[in-house]
A and B are shown apart, each in its own frame.
Chain A
Amino acid sequence: MPHQLSIFAENKPGKIEKITGIIAEGQINIRAVTISDAGDYGIIKLLVDNPERGFELLKSENIAVNLKEIIAVKIEDKIGGLHEISKVLRENNINVNDSYGFITEPKKEAVFIFQVADPIHAENILKKEGFSLLSDRELYLI
């Protein structure tokens, strides 16, 4: 199952710079970034091509970091693409916590990434419904 880095950061200038500096120095490439902000602090989420290495590097710099399991599903880049998978998730009572998406091939393919309470259960259901899930290797090589 793929992972992303969740990093605790104070809401101050220079925090993203520091973290991305460590990532870049480790020759790690960032595929996607999101930030959830809760006032004084927030969580920076990085999808990178080598999350284990990123995790170790950040940890060695005394940064509060965690590897979070995520689900990455291929969807069609068309009107209603996200709606289709949302319907399946709703039918199976799966609640999406954090999510984002990006286009991999314009007008053809996109990836929807999200966190759920029980990723294995969600994965099984999506596979059964015929969705194509990206493995960590596939995802990191996008």
Chain B
Amino acid sequence: MFNSSIEQLPRQELEALQLDRLKKALEAAQRTPFYKKQFSDNNIDISKINSLPDLRKLPFTTKSDLRVSYPDGMCAVDRNVIVRMHASSGTTGKSTVIFYTRKDIEEWSSLVARGLYSSGIRSEDVFQNMMGYGLFTGGLGLHYGAEKLGCMIIPSATGNSLKQIQLIQDFKTTAVHITPSYALHLADVINGEGINPADLGIRKAVLGAEPYSEATRDKIQDIYGLKAYNNYGLSEMNGPGVAFECEELGGMHIWEDFYIPEIINPETGENLPDGETGELVITHINREAMPIFRYRTRDLTRIIPEPCGCGRTHKRIDRMKGRTDDMLIISGVNIFPSQIESVLMNIPEVGNNYQIVVDRENNLDKIHIKVELYSKMFHGDIKELDSLRKNITDLLKSTIIVTPKIELLEPGSLPPSTGKAVRVIDNRKI
């Protein structure tokens, strides 16, 4: 194990550590404008939080809380001790921002290293990180973790499949971090080059950033002749590395020295016992710059109550079963239909109805957005329509990052906006 004393810490000691860190995090949270107000509005006396079940007395924190706290209403330290920020796109323009001190970055890196080790990655591995670098946590998070573990990192980022193949061949890549859909697409490109993917010598894949099925995992394993492991993370909880699958492949260990997981009924907010499926709620108890309590992830899963054969004492969470909201994950990028709607509704030439259609073609996600032309804004000019289509594409791309294909439709051709109009049609089979 990467850190066996922590990873195998007896439950009682682990829970004592959690309580100690929870209390410290609560004290730090008093320094943030957001929690100061939230605690006082809800009459929370943090000195009365004396056991782990007492955590349930705290209100939930939601994505919209992070948004209204933009840019630093949840920050517990001075700006000058922050060494990094990441951000994810919000549902309506404003991003949600996460801050890290030097200690936070180092500990997050160790956490990712611990997870990678549990998935069988070792310092001898050449680790090609095919994830987006930048504000998105997926690229840099794994980068620092794999470097901490001692791997040779190839920061190849996303896209440019031929270059990826060349790097794999020239530097003898043995492990990759990749989205499942891109792994399948890349396999097609590799085959197209007359190469058998299994001959490349990649032995491990860390799959993440989007939901996928066991069947997809099997397919990726067969095509490349490798072992693939699931991992879970979200930027609000640092990014990747929150939970990692060990070599027993029986769910992902959530690192409880950093996180306290709860499962709730998403409708009522009530806690559910281990083993039952509900919404995952996580408290980050070990981040200096930004403690977050009872964060509603909107991801549906369950806690696997049985101990794991690997000997780690940290609880496992099951493969994500879906979301409680309408978030779409397109090529690893999180997109809310409301983001698309707010862009469309600000374009005068677009009518009130629209439809989002998601397909997977050649293992790549494609998003088609059907919009109705607003009759009064039609001037009978075909060039104007072409530039309108380009304009809609550009505006959406700058908001949702991925490039949609825009279809202009006649007025009245989509189901009307009243009632329960089906706005999103997801044809992907995952």
Contacts and interface: CB of A to CB of B under 8 A. Distances in A.
B382 A64 contact: no
Nearest to A4: B380
B389 to A, nearest CB: 9
B409 A10 contact: yes
A36 B412 contact: no
Given A41-B385, A59-B375, A66 B380 contact: yes
Contacts of B375: 59, 62-65
A42 interface: yes
Contacts, number: 50
Interface residues of A, number: 19
A65 B378 contact: yes
A38 interface: yes
The interface size bin for chain B is 10 to 19
A8 B407 contact: no
Contact of B413 (A10, A36, A43): A10
Contact of B378 (A36, A42, A64): A64
A107 B411 CA distance: 44
A40 B369 CA distance: 13
Interface string A82-95: 00000000000000
B386 A64 contact: no
A45 B380 CA distance: 9
A42 B380 contact: no
By CB atoms of chain B within 10 A, which of A6, A45, A67 has the most? A6
Contact of A63 (B374, B379, B386, B411): B411
B410 interface: yes
Interface string B403-430: 0000111111100000000000000000
A40 B409 CA distance: 9
Interface in B354-374: 373-374
Contact of B410 (A36, A59, A64, A67): A64
A68 interface: yes
B380 A38 contact: no
A40 B408 contact: yes
A56 to B, nearest CB: 13
A142 B381 CA distance: 26
A57 interface: no
A40 B374 CA distance: 17
A36 B411 contact: no
Contact of B382 (A43, A65, A67): A43
A8 B389 CA distance: 14
Contact of A43 (B374, B380, B407): B380
A54 to B, nearest CB: 13
Contacts of A66: 378-380
Interface in B373-409: 373-375, 378-382, 385-386, 407-409
A9 B375 CA distance: 11
7 contacts: A8-B408, A38-B382, A40-B407, A40-B408, A45-B380, A62-B375, A64-B378
Interface of B: 373-375, 378-382, 385-386, 407-413
Kindly list the 5 A-B residue pairs having the minimum CB-CB distance in the complex, ordered from nearest.
Answer: A6-B380, A66-B380, A64-B378, A64-B375, A68-B380
